[in-house]
Structure 1
Amino acid sequence: MAFRDTGKNGTMPGPVDDYLSPPALAVRSAVERALAEDLTPLGDLTSVLVPADAVTTAELRARQAGVLAGVDCVIETFAQVDPSLTLTWRLSDGDRLEAGSVIGTVEGHLRTVLTAERTALNFLSHLSGVATNTAAFVDRAAATGSSTRVWDTRKTTPGLRSLQKAAVRAGGGRNHRANLSDAIMVKDNHLTGLGVAEAVGLAKDRWPNRTVVVECERSDQMVVAIEAGADSVLLDNMTPEQVSECVALAAELQGSSPRRCLLEASGAITLETVAAYAATGVDLVSSGAITNSAPVLDIGLDIAT
């Protein structure tokens, strides 16, 4: 745990879990690109109409219930626009929001607060939307009483993956591989040129320290993958009944072995169906919908004084 520095004079209400934060370099880069998009070529033509000596205190306020994510992006946005602004936070990433919750305040020059406003809110609303969507999946899975975890996919917005995956963590989800170098995932298209056992054997030989995942559409493929030494099997586009059968078959195959292949259910899993998949006892459920179909959470900036 660590205290988050919010800028020149910013404060945070207690310790912040770094596990929920995206890499600082990714935050800085994303904010730089977003501000360049908003401020080139001539800057903020409207805010310069405001008197230069005007100051304000503004509140970041949730308009609807959800889960907060993206605080680091807001901090970075205001810092890049005007490092003299003071941010004070009441809530942190991962906190549950009610409609009307005050997330934090920003104090300083009205001009620069207004210049940074939309970029900061775009990040905060989008990432909180991802966290809120994730939490809905996690809550539905947990309600079954199973230990199944919900995690994401690589179906993310280009250039924002690290930020979206941090938002998934804020929502109580877990992260699948971040990129193609993270792990070896042998999918159906790879298997058009390779057998399952051959693919696992080659992967273990060439990249012995990498996790090997095999996508399987049938239980017989799963059996071959487990026997070949796969670390994880992705049960793709199966019904909950088929996943249950695979969970039972995998338990029979592996017995009390200390090394157990993880089982993941994937493929068109929605908020309406995630509980049925979690109830099968599968280890993990993945859904691209938690990132690529997340609606924004309505958050605004209200001028208090």
Structure 2
Amino acid sequence: MLIKEIEQFIDEDIGYNDISCKMVPDKPHEATVFTNQECTLAGIDVAKSFFDYFGIDAATSFIDGDKAHPDDVIFTIFGGAVSLLRAERLVLNFLGHMSGIATQTRKCVDTVRCYSDKTDIACTRKTTPGIRKFEKMAVIAGGGDPHRYNLSDTVMIKDNHIKIMGFENAVDIAVELASFTQKIEVEVESVNDAIKAAQKGVDIIMLDNMKPAEIIRTIEILKNKNLKNNVIIEISGGINPENLEDYAKTGADIISMSSLIHMSRWIDISMEISTIT
């Protein structure tokens, strides 16, 4: 984590008149950070960044992606009382939020693995403003793919591009302007548009808001026309943990789910000061 990011979060949380922390005797204390739930952990390095900034010694045997059980001690920490209190909520917020996303992602990855070892789970750009990179780090910790981080990573032609420019025009201009390092992805809602996109030589076709049966049919048609081998098929739209099994059986290469982030629940993680030295 960058120093400017740490200080931005600290400024938000501490404010200008922190009496509740300054009032305590600033003597050394030992404390533990532990989870109250079974989870997949994420945010370990983020927590370390806060501990380092506040001059807190922190020891852990965990890394992002590890499974933790109730009452597992994630960190044993040692530092001044004021620093411990100031770091507490920042650390717990990031660990709780990121571990919630990682846990949700791991469950979805495990669901898909029951049906395919070639289909990957990815998140989307539907993230919390200001902390996108941390949420995507959490998806990675859970075994998922972060997808694109921003608009510059991939040239994605969505429905509104097509409404403004037309299908073929949008693809042609994207091919002309894109760097050789950028993939071109087209969002389609019909079999015919999927065929046209594949014939145009795009890298990725996103089948948006299609039902599982229609996805299976579209992939079969692309295979029969020898158009599938050189294109990645991504499916998205309305996919969540409850209906994921149906989509996992379609044979798509990527299942992108905004629900990995916006439907995840925070993990209950606590800090407890234990001794005075």
The TM tier, using the shorter chain, reads: over 0.9
Q: What is the CA–CA distance in structure 2 between the aligned matches of 1:256 and 1:238, rounded to whole Å?
A: 18
Q: What is the CA–CA distance in structure 2 between the aligned matches of 1:185 and 1:250, rounded to whole Å?
A: 20
- CA displacement at 1:30 relative to structure 2: 3.4
Deviations 1:132-183 (A, max 9, x none): 1111111111112342100010000111111111110000000111101111
- CA displacement at 1:33 relative to structure 2: 1.6
1:109-258 map, 5 Å? 109-209=80-180, 210-254=182-226
Q: What is the CA–CA distance in structure 1 between the aligned matches of 2:204 and 2:47, rounded to whole Å?
A: 37
For 1:38, the aligned partner's letter is D
Q: What is the CA–CA distance in structure 2 between the aligned matches of 1:115 and 1:193, rounded to whole Å?
A: 50
Aligned-residue identity in percent: 34
1:304 match: secondary structure: strand
1:46 match: secondary structure: helix
The runs of 5 or more residues in structure 1 that have no matched partner are: 1-23
Indicate conservation of the 8 Å contact 1:30/1:159, yes or no: no
Q: What is the CA–CA distance in structure 2 between the aligned matches of 1:254 and 1:62, rounded to whole Å?
A: 51
Q: What is the CA–CA distance in structure 1 between the aligned matches of 2:160 and 2:105, rounded to whole Å?
A: 28
Indicate conservation of the 8 Å contact 1:236/1:266, yes or no: yes
Q: What is the CA–CA distance in structure 1 between the aligned matches of 2:160 and 2:228, rounded to whole Å?
A: 33
Could you tell me the TM-score, scaled by structure 2's length?
Answer: 0.94
Equivalences, count: 274
Could you tell me the TM-score, scaled by structure 1's length?
Answer: 0.86
Indicate conservation of the 8 Å contact 2:198/2:227, yes or no: no
Deviations 1:274-302 (A, max 9, x none): 12111111000001111122211111112
Residue 46 (1) aligns with residue 35 (2): no
Indicate conservation of the 8 Å contact 1:146/1:281, yes or no: no
For 1:174, the aligned partner's letter is D
The runs of 5 or more residues in structure 2 that have no matched partner are: none
RMSD of aligned residue pairs (Cα, Å)? 1.5
Indicate conservation of the 8 Å contact 1:30/1:160, yes or no: no
Query: Using a 3 Å threshold, how does the CA distance of structure 1 residues 208 and 35 change in structure 2: closer, same or farther?
Result: closer
- CA displacement at 1:50 relative to structure 2: 2.0
Stretch of structure 1 that moved more, 138-147 or 167-176:
138-147
Q: What is the CA–CA distance in structure 2 between the aligned matches of 1:268 and 1:256, rounded to whole Å?
A: 24
Q: What is the CA–CA distance in structure 1 between the aligned matches of 2:174 and 2:226, rounded to whole Å?
A: 21
Which one of the candidate residues 248, 252, 256 is aligned to 1:286?
Answer: 256
Indicate conservation of the 8 Å contact 2:188/2:207, yes or no: yes
Instruction: Determine the structure 2 residue equivalent to 1:32.
Output: 7
Stretches of 4+ aligned residues off by more than 6 angstroms? none
Instruction: Determine the structure 2 residue equivalent to 1:61.
Output: 34
